[in-house]
């Protein structure tokens, strides 16, 4: 099983709402990632968890709050978002440090629209 799953597929939320994105993998991978992708742009790294600990935060605004409850799950909590936060949010995982050439597997993404 080389699948990374993400829920929901689509999410529409108002600027005052609180919502969460969920990501799951059962490949035993110890590194998990959140990316944000705007239309016709490459993915931008937001957060990296390594062994369930936050190892990289790319200066993401605090209205995005990641959480890694266990080695298979990764959440992204959303609060007080702005319309410019509308994007495709991608989750990914890898067995280890991708700097060493390991595969990184992406989920299908959650299409987020902030109204």
Partner 1 sequence: KNQVEQSPQSLIILEGKNCTLQCNYTVSPFSNLRWYKQDTGRGPVSLTIMTFSENTKSNGRYTATLDADTKQSSLHITASQLSDSASYICVVSGAGEYGNKLVFGAGTILRVKS
Residue 43 beta carbon to partner 1: minimum distance, rounded to whole angstroms:
6
CA-closest candidate to residue 67, choices 16, 22, 18, 10: 22
Binding mask 52-91 for partner 1 (x = CB under 8 A): ---xx-------------------------------x-x-
> Can you say whether residue 4 is alpha, beta or left, with left for phi > 0 and alpha for psi between -120 and 50 degrees?
beta
If binding is defined by CB under 8 A, does position 103 make contact with partner 1? yes
Q: Which is nearer to partner 1, 15 or 58 (CB)?
A: 58
Number of amino acids touching partner 1 (CB under 8 A):
30
CA–CA dist 59, 42 (Å, integer): 18
Touching partner 1, residues 35-54 (CB under 8 A): 40-45, 48, 50
Q: Are 49 and 92 in contact (CB under 8 A)?
A: no
| Cα angle 5-44-21, degrees, rounded to a multiple of 5 | 35
Binding site for partner 1 (CB under 8 A): 4, 31, 33, 40-45, 48, 50, 55-56, 88, 90, 92, 94, 97-101, 103-109, 111
């Amino acid at each position: 099983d080389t699948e990374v799953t993400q829920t929901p597929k689509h999410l529409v939320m108002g600027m005052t709402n609180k919502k969460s994105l969920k990501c799951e993998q059962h490949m035993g991978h110890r590194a998990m990632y959140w990316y944000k992708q705007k239309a016709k742009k490459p993915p931008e790294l937001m957060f990296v968890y390594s062994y369930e600990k936050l190892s990289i935060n790319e200066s993401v605004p605090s209205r995005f709050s990641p959480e890694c409850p266990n080695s298979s799950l990764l959440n992204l909590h959303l609060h007080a978002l702005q319309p410019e936060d509308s994007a495709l949010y991608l989750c990914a995982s890898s067995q280890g440090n991708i700097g060493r050439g390991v595969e990184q597997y992406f989920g299908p993404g959650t299409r987020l629209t902030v109204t």
